[in-house]
Amino acid sequence: MDRTRELFDRFVAWSPVLLLGALAALTYWLDAQVQSPPARRDGSTRHDPDLFLQDFKAITFDANGNARETLSATRAEHFPDDESAELAKPRLSLSETGRPTMTVTADRGRIDGDRDNGDFSGNVRVERDADPNTPAGSERAGPVTLSTSALHVTTKEQRVQTREAVTIEDPRGIIHGKGLEFDNKAKTLRLDSQVSGTFQPQDVPK
């Protein structure tokens, strides 16, 4: 009986220490659960290129085997952290059956990992071929050329946008403005401000 009493007294005496130890262990465990995992040291989290290509050309085809998107550049660098690619002297052509082909060239470019969006800068030029659905010989058919210093391209929608100064040329004349949205599929063009130039009226059927 005395032995049991002695053990009980020792347990009571040590219980605060045991309780504090348990609380410390629990606190350490909880802290470990909420901490972010340590950064990987293999370079994958840095925006550094993991490979580059010289004079490359990539083609995406539609369901019928026709070229839908063609991208080329004198040099391309791929970045694994966001799967993007930075391009030197890029050339992007977007095609769709029944619609005029639109081609973008520039000094520099960047394509997102999903290839749905691209940004181009330096001597940016957009050339839209003559519209195959417009009667031959009509000035409304085009071609149309856009020139600017920076441009955002949405590839699937075939839409281009810029906030910079832009020059538009087609067989009917030339127009200058600032800020533009051009939709190749919808055949619409909008200038935001500072519009000026010379533009002949559309030909009127007799």
Structure confidence at residue 51 as a pLDDT band (50, 70, 90): confident
Name the residue ranges covered by the structural domains of the chain. Answer: 1-32, 51-199
Distance separating alpha carbons of residues 161 and 191, to the nearest angstrom: 10
Write down the mean pLDDT value for the chain: 80
Instruction: Return the minimum-mean-pLDDT range out of 16-25, 70-79, 109-118, 170-179.
Output: 16-25
CB atoms within 10 A of CB 200: 10
Q: What local confidence, expressed as pLDDT, does residue 103 receive?
A: 95
Distance separating alpha carbons of residues 136 and 205, to the nearest angstrom: 13
Q: What local confidence, expressed as pLDDT, does residue 184 receive?
A: 87
pLDDT digits (tens, 9 = 90+) for 71-88: 999 999 988 888 889 999
b/e map 118-139, b = 16+ CB within 10 Å: bbbeeebbbbbbbbeeeeeeee
Q: Topology of domain 51-199, per CATH?
A: lipopolysaccharide transport protein A fold (2.60.450)
Instruction: Say yes or no to pLDDT of 29 above 70.
Output: no
| Biggest distance spanned by C-alpha atoms of the chain | 123
Instruction: Say yes or no to pLDDT of 44 above 60.
Output: no
pLDDT digits (tens, 9 = 90+) for 157-197: 999 999 999 999 988 899 999 999 999 888 888 999 998 88
